[in-house]
Structure 1
């Protein structure tokens, strides 16, 4: 499992690519990635294109990211999720908290 951050040249967008299993083992690294960025980016994209698995701790990590980014005012998109991951996000009502595509 790896977490790969990429900040846009203007510093306004952070993309976090998740590769492999997105579970509790990635908690510390995932959190460090977004907490280290200063100033906070205006937008955050979580790219799940290469994520093979997502569990309840990953859902919790997404909620912590949302809180860190500003809660209801945060601009966070979850992109490239496969059908299984999208189903989990939908059942968990995360489509009401995040822009999921």
Structure 2
């Protein structure tokens, strides 16, 4: 599991790239990716291109990010989901809470 944070040059967007399994073992690393930055971005991008697995704890972590980013007003995009990850997000109705592309 590797999680990296990549701020945009203007600091308005934070991209979090997740490689491998996105499960409870990634909890602290995922939180650190958005909490331990000196930025206050308006938008978040979660790049799931390298994510091979996602479980219910990962869904909970995404909800925690949503709360951190402003709740209903949060601008969070989930990108590059493989078919298995996209299916889990669809079953969980996350399309109503996040922009999934």
Give TM class, smaller chain. over 0.9
Instruction: Give 5+ residue unaligned stretches, structure 1.
Output: none
Q: 2:51 aligns to what? A: 51
Structure 1 runs, 4 residues or longer, greater than 3 Å off: none
Q: 1:7 aligns to what? A: 7
Q: Structure 1 length normalisation: TM-score?
A: 0.98
Cα deviations by residue, 1:17-63 (Å, 9 ceiling, x for unpaired): 00000000000010011012233101000000000000000000000
Distance 1:66 1:100 in 2: 14
Distance 1:37 1:69 in 2: 13
3-state DSSP of counterpart to 1:72: helix
3-state DSSP of counterpart to 1:65: helix
**What is the Cα deviation at residue 3 of structure 1?**
0.4
- Aligned pairs for 1:5-84 (under 5 A) are 5-84=5-84
Q: CA RMSD in A?
A: 0.7
